[in-house]
Amino acid sequence: MTYSDSLIKIAFAYLKNVADAEEVAQDVFLTYLQKAPVFASDEHEKAWLIRTAINKSKNMLKAGWFRSRTPIPDNLAYFPKDEYSVLQAVLSLDKKYRIPIHLHYYEGYSLEEIADILHAKPATVGTWLARGRSQLKEAIGGQAT
């Protein structure tokens, strides 16, 4: 359960819903128990869990039941106003941009590490980050980091 927060947050960045994100995190732990993978390091283990959470989030987005429903929006009123704006701005980005942004700015992964997790080239990840940042700048100006 050490990485449960990280998994819930990457899944939330994908699905924009805490309950769904928690379900994905639970599924990831279930897969972990079923497959019992062996890792060279804790970082390797965390990267595997995040990669699995992303895959499961993608699958959930594609599921018919998920697409056909209308979930109750999360109550994020407890967020400070400025941070809520930043969060909404990131969540409004295309997932192609917001996932690298989340991995870079929240998890602190480098371009190469993100490329490894997302199975993409570092240059491609750099492009996604640059475009995401550009769109964020347009949305919220220079008020956020």
Partner 1 sequence: MKKKPSYKDAMSHLKRSEDFEERTIKKLGLDPTTKTKGASTMTTTYKATPSRKKWTIWTGGIAACAVLALGIYAFNPGNETAVPTPTPIVDSGSTNQQPGTIADEPPGQMAGKRVVNFEGVIEEVSADGLSFRVGELWVTVNDATEYGITGPTAPPVSEQLVSDDFKVGNTVAGFTSEDVSSGKVTAERIYNNF
Q: Is 139 in the site for partner 1 (CB under 8 A)?
A: no
Our CB check for partner 1 shows the closer of 43 and 121 to be: 43
Residues 11 and 17: their CA atoms lie apart, in Å, by: 8
Q: Which of 4, 55, 124, 127 binds partner 1 (CB under 8 A)?
A: 4
Backbone φ, ψ for residue 110 (5° rounding):
-80, 170
What are the Cα distances from residue 132, in Å, to 91, 104, 105, 127, 129? 11, 11, 12, 8, 5
- What sections of 16-63 are H helices per DSSP? 18-35, 42-62
Residues 106 to 135 in contact with partner 1, rule: CB under 8 A: 106
Q: Which of 83, 94, 121, 134 binds partner 1 (CB under 8 A)?
A: 83
Residue 44, token pair as written in the block:
């390797």
Q: Is 18 in the site for partner 1 (CB under 8 A)?
A: yes
Footprint of partner 1 on this chain (CB under 8 A)? 1-2, 4-5, 8-9, 12-13, 18-19, 22, 25-26, 29-30, 32-34, 36, 76, 78-80, 82-87, 90, 101-102, 105-106, 143-145
